[in-house]
Structures are given as C-alpha cells and as structure tokens.
Amino acid sequence: MLNKKWAKILGTAALTLTLAACGDSGDGSAGESGTDGEDNTEESAEPAQGITEDTVKVGNSAATSGAYAPVGSPFNAGIEAYFEMINDDGGVHGREIEFVHTDDEFDPAIGRAALQTLVEDEEVFALVGHFGTPVIAATIDDIKDYGIPAVYFAAGIGQLYNADAEGSDRVAMPVQPIYTTEGEMMLSRAVGDFGAEKVGVIYTNDDAGLDMLEGAQSKADELGIELVSEQVPAGATDVSAAVTSVVNEDVDFVIGASIQNTLPTIVKALVAQGSTADLITSYVNVDASISQQIWNDIDGQFDVYGNGWVDLSSEESQENLAMMNEWIQDDYDNNVYAMTGWIAGHFFTEGMDRLGDETPTWDAYIDAMESEPINNPFGGEIDFADGKRVGTQEMNLSRVESESDWVEVEGLKSIEEILGNN
C-alpha cells in the first residue's frame, strides 16, 4: 500500500477493428461487461485477468520507433519510471506493477494487433497510456467491447468525449485534454476573461478543428453567445477568404481552432486584414516553434493566448518534477512527454490504491476511479464521477510575450470558475 509519504507527495501536484469479446464474462477476463453498475454475483467477484497475489500486469502499445519515437519513447519511460518508484516502495497493497509494451509504430493495423495480444495473450488487467490518434481511433470501440479499463489516452480526439458515460463506455478514462472540452474552455475564456459577446472561430477541417468547433458551439449555445465560424483546410497556406468573413463580422474575440502549422497562417492573415481582436488557441500550439513564427507580426496589434493543462509554478508540482527526474533515465529529465507518461502511471496507480482489500475486478476498479477526483501530479484534477469522460477540466492561460516565450497569465481554472469572473 502506498505509504503516507507517497500519498502526500503524489496525491498533489504537455498525441497522441472489430475483435470479438472472448473469455468467460464471470472471471473478469476479456469479454466481461463489467460496466453495468449492478452488484457482482459471488461467481463474478473473482480477480480480473492480470492479477495475482503479488502482481498486477498492465500494458500499452506506443510508437517507440520511427517518426514518433521522440514522443513515444519518453512517454513510456515516464510510465515505467513511475511504476518503478511504486514497486520500490512495496507496490500497491502488496502488488508490484508489471508493465508490458508493444511498439505499434503509430500504425493503426499494428495497433489493432497489439491490442488483441495485450488483452488475449498477455492478459493485462488494464491499458495504461494508449497512444496516438490513429491507433486510438482504430481501437477504441474494441477496447469497449473487451470491457477492459483504459487509463490515459495520448490524444485529444472527440471519440473520447462523453459527459455521461454508461455501460461499456465507462472503461475509457481520458486525462489529457480532449479537443471538444478545449473548445468549450476557449469559448468560456472569451466570455469570462475577455467579456466577448460575439466570437469568431476559424477552424481546420480535420478532427482537431471540428472537435474544437463543436465544443465552442455547444458552450456558445448554452451561454447565448453569437458565434461566427469559418473553415480552412488543415495545412492551408492561404486562409484569407475565411479570415475576411470573420473580420467583416466585427467579432470581439477569435478562436484559432487548429493545431500546429495552420495556426501561424491564420494569425498572419488576421494581422494583414487589420484585426485587433485577441485570439486564443489550443494547448498544442503553446510552443516556441509557434511564437517564433508570429511574434513579429502580432506585436502591438493584438494578443495571442493559449491554454495549458500542466502547471509547474507551484511548489508541489516542482517537488513532483524533481521526483520524476530522480527515477527517470537522465536523457528524459524535465521532458514534457515523460511528464505525461508519469501522469498516466499516477492515475492508474491511484485507482489500484483506492481498491484497498477489495477484489480487483474491472467493475471495482472503474468504480474506484469514479469515487472522487484524482489530482494531477503537475496541477489540477480529473473527475470521472457519474460517467464524466471529458479529459482535463482545468486549464491555465498563457500569452505570447516574445519569439521564444509564452508567459502564464492565469492559473489553472475550471470552466465554472472562469465564467464566475463574468
């Protein structure tokens, strides 16, 4: 069991097929429905697969070779380091955590095969750190068919969003921001922090842009805010027509619902057309590679803001970062992807710790994860209660201040807290 020292330090505190269900649904192995909220029968109250008296086996597939290895390798290293720390302290209620991994090369077909191997052959108790948009999109339905708990998804796709999950949907427990939720957050900031009454959304025609638009539109409808939206192709080099339409509507604030290379193109077009409305964008864009492209254009005309979901400004977060650096290999000290892996390991372990002496079935584990909010080691918390599967629910706010700097201007806040400012 986690001792008081770890409970205090680690309880506080930047992606991402149709397999038939198999096995006897009464023993917690693949095929257990495990999510209907009904009391377990005596026969079904056996430990789930992957559980022995002194071990719990978990696993994932992630790209640890190829183009995405610079993300996948430190991500997995963070998970492994967290579990090593827990095991060195005696494990969780006497059980050490065994972590198995398959390199899926960011390939959906390989990821589908890896999922089958992990669940049916390796018989893992849970998936920890399911990685990458294409693999997640290809396997999410089958994870639900298996009924296996899946903690932390390294992607923000809308398929993970569910405000009231029931049945097999409860098995997916996203932690990282989901673009739909982030769209709600950005619209809320426009209103709560900037007093906007008419908001423009320039979004890309990919999953990220469409999901952010969906979230923004939903929150705008709820708040009675006028929304003007225009679509641009992902990776477009000319977005002038869409920008003209938004600027001509005289909006108070702009949401740049795009990721990576399209955002600078949108910003430059807004500058060229004389827009003075401040803009907010996704946490994915809060990086020096973006600020370097836009700083000389926006300086003095309007501000560019971005969300964030980890906060290293607190003493507790710094203590947790130091703890991670102590356990992880030196190459990954302070690595943001290693931090996300560390977070994934923490969230899984918290659920196991909450089980105590209860029989570790999939049902019981999911109930434990939903029983109360879980702290992120690097700030904020996630609440899975009542089927809430919306990812990060608290974000901070940063502003571009130079070519290389995004400076935090507001700490982690929930949508409710942000709108309370208005």
Query: Where are the domains positioned within the chain?
Result: 4-177+313-391, 180-308+395-419
Q: Give the tens place of pLDDT for each residue, 161-177.
A: 999 999 999 999 999 99
Position 15 pLDDT exceeds 80: no
Whether 63 contacts 132, CB under 8 Å? yes
Q: Give the tens place of pLDDT for each residue, 21-60.
A: 233 333 444 444 445 444 444 455 799 999 999 999 999 9
Query: Which residues, in sequence order, are CB contacts of 342 under 8 Å at separation 6+?
Result: 78, 79, 81, 82, 320, 324, 328, 377
pLDDT at 19: 25
Q: Residue 414 has what DSSP assignment?
A: E
pLDDT at 369: 98
Residue range 4-177+313-391 forms a domain whose CATH class is alpha beta
CA distances from 333 to 71, 93, 218, 339 (A): 14, 29, 40, 9
Q: Which pair of tokens denotes residue 274?
A: 């004389």
Q: Residue 404 has what DSSP assignment?
A: S
Closest CA to 82 of 182, 180, 151: 151
Q: Give the tens place of pLDDT for each residue, 91-114.
A: 999 999 999 999 999 999 999 999
pLDDT at 4: 31
pLDDT at 313: 87
Same fold, 4-177+313-391 and 180-308+395-419: yes
Phi then psi dihedrals of residue 394, to 5 deg: -130, 130
Q: Count Cβ atoms within 10 A of the Cβ of residue 37 and give its class: 0-12 exposed, 13-18 middle, 19 or more buried.
A: exposed
Domain 180-308+395-419 has CATH 3.40.50.2020: no
For the segment 300-310, the average pLDDT, to the nearest whole number, is 95
pLDDT at 38: 45
Predicted TM-score (pTM) of the model is 0.86
- Please, which pLDDT band fits residue 300 given cuts at 50, 70 and 90? confident
